[in-house]
Amino acid sequence: MRFTINGTPIDVPDGHSLAAEALARGIPTRRSVSGESRGPLCGMGVCFECRATVDGVAHQLACQTFAGAPPAPVPHLATDLLIVGAGPAGLAAAAAASANGTGVTIVDDNPTPGGQIWRGGNPPIPNRVQFLPLTRVVDAPQPGELTAIRAGAIVRLRYKRLLLATGARERFLPFPGWTLPHVLGAGGLQALVKAGLPIAGKRIVIAGTGPLLVAVAAYMRDHGASILALCDQASARDQAKFLAQLPFSKWGQGLALARSLRGVRPRAGTWPIAAAPGSVTLNTGRTLPCDYVAVGYHLVPNTELAQLLGCATQNGFVVVNDRQQTTVADVYCAGEPTAIGGIDLAQAEGELAGLAIARAAVPHALLERREQFRRFAERLARVTELRPELRQLPKPETIICRCEDVTQSQLAGASGARGEAAQGPAPMNDWRAAKLHTRCGMGPCQGRTCAPILEFLYGFAPPPPRPPIFPAPIATLEESLP
């Protein structure tokens, strides 16, 4: 299928994304506001670095543009249970609720179900469950109704009960060179490979923190890439402690990963400090020539929709009770937005939510399983805690906000800045001041990339979301409400 990207024609095989094909050909997706050539970072429609003029339409996400028949329009839809997100939590909830007689519709902004973890694996949609792929929820105009965008057209989604299974995204940290096109997220690079980016024979440095890095390394290795280094900022001691406490059920996953990693020696206490075209330099002082640097510092929960609906959050996570109910009536939440605990916790929470919504009995063993993996999530949070040295990574000219190209020196007056005295008569002492006076977070990613960075660097609480929670055509906000 032929697309034009910024005026250049590209043939994209069915099922592949335009971003993957552009990256493979070395075609930048956009020029940043300060003139840098940019390519995809997150690979999952969150960072907006891959937006391009596609077939003459400006600001389209190349990573969400797939070759294949466009989805049929669905202007209106009403359902008993609406699930946002077709990852492990959403699918488990759909199976449990549907098996107990509840009508279920799942929407997801990806082309296939599975979320990020099963991307491309095409897990089955449970019986009698309706699935709307390529459908992105952007607004909540009134109780019981969400607005979504599907192939540029509006979808009005009515529901009686709502389950938010919106997953998580990667956390990125700025360092000199991190905006170069060969530097991507770890999950981001994997998503692009699954969307058609050829990786065989490529030299990759994988870095950051968390178990996702190991999974990405194994995946890349299986697809013929050469892993030059697998670096985790966590210390060897913390990692050993974490592994020693791994739940029994995780051993299988761990052993399988270890087998595919044969010959790759993970490096603890190691992280990238700079990238230059065609290379990356580690804190050990070594510079490694490479084709890609895949860097992700664990995950950030996607809580924007929950917050827009008014659900309470605590420490950045959506508050739920023992039936996965949020603080808003008829709104449930499961998976990473409540705690980053991996696939097992997401499935347990999803099943629990599905049963609770269908008013079916909840087995005690399920609650116990959830507790077990909640404890795992806590240990995971500890081992992935970012070391303070990482705050020193950005230099004055390093870009912090990639949408608006706001540099560290522009934000250096931020009063929370470690090691920097507040400057001038008018310090920026919170997210809002930083945004108003530097444009940090004003771009199309709406702060999804830079807000977690400012939280880490300066301690600024991330901003509450505003409608639309993703950029959307003006027409989306124009429709009169019934």
Partner 1 sequence: MSLPDVIVVGAGVVGASCADACARRGLRVEVLDAHGIGGGATAAGMGHIVVMDDSEAQFALTRYSQQLWQALVRELPKTVEYTSSGTVWVADDDQTTTAEMDEVRRKHAYYAARGVATEILDPRALAAAEPNLRAPLSGGLLVPGDAVVYPPCAARFLLERNGIKVTLAPPVTDLRNLRAGHVVNAAGAGAGALTPGLPIRPRKGHLVITDRYPGWLHHQLVELGYLKSAHSHDGDSVAFNAQPRATGQILIGSSRQFDAEHTTVDHALLARMLRRASLYMPRLASLSALRVWTGFRAATPDSLPLIGPWSENVLLATGHEGLGITTSLATGELIADHITGSASAIPPEPYLPDRFSNSHALHH
Residue 473 C-beta: closest distance to partner 1, Å: 6
33 lies in the binding site for partner 1 (CB under 8 A)? yes
Tokens 């830079």: give the residue: 450
Helix axes 211-222, 248-260, angle to 10 degrees: 40
Nearer to partner 1, 9 or 56 (CB): 56
Tokens 């705050």: give the residue: 391
Nearer to partner 1, 324 or 438 (CB): 438
- Of the listed pieces 124-132, 230-238, 265-273, 470-478, which binds partner 1 according to CB under 8 A? 470-478
- Site track for partner 1 across 112-151, x = CB under 8 A: ---------------------------x-xx---------
| Residues 36-65 contacting partner 1, CB under 8 A | 58-59
Give the burial string for 120-135 (b: 16+ CB within 10 Å, else e): eeeeebbeebbbbbbb
- Site track for partner 1 across 244-283, x = CB under 8 A: ----------------------------------------
Residue 389 C-beta: closest distance to partner 1, Å: 30
| Residues 412-441 contacting partner 1, CB under 8 A | 424-430, 432-433, 436-437
Residue 255 C-beta: closest distance to partner 1, Å: 46
Q: Which residues contact 115 (CB under 8 A, 6 or more apart)?
A: 85, 86, 87, 88, 89, 90, 108, 167
| DSSP state letter for 223 | T
- Tell me which residue of 89, 17, 169, 139 sits closest to 353, measured CA to CA: 89
Among 291, 442, 455, 456, binds partner 1 (CB under 8 A): 442
Cα(243)–Cα(265) distance, rounded to whole angstroms? 16
> Tokens for 370?
């959830």
Helix (H, G, I), strand (E, B) or coil at 68: coil
- Tell me which residue of 287, 293, 337 sits closest to 315, measured CA to CA: 337
Helix (H, G, I), strand (E, B) or coil at 439: coil
Residue 438 C-beta: closest distance to partner 1, Å: 9
446 lies in the binding site for partner 1 (CB under 8 A)? yes
Among 99, 153, 362, 477, binds partner 1 (CB under 8 A): 477
Residue 57 C-beta: closest distance to partner 1, Å: 8
8-11 vs 57-61, strand pairing mode: unpaired
Residues that bind partner 1 (CB under 8 A): 33, 58-59, 139, 141-142, 424-430, 432-433, 436-437, 442-444, 446, 466-468, 471-481
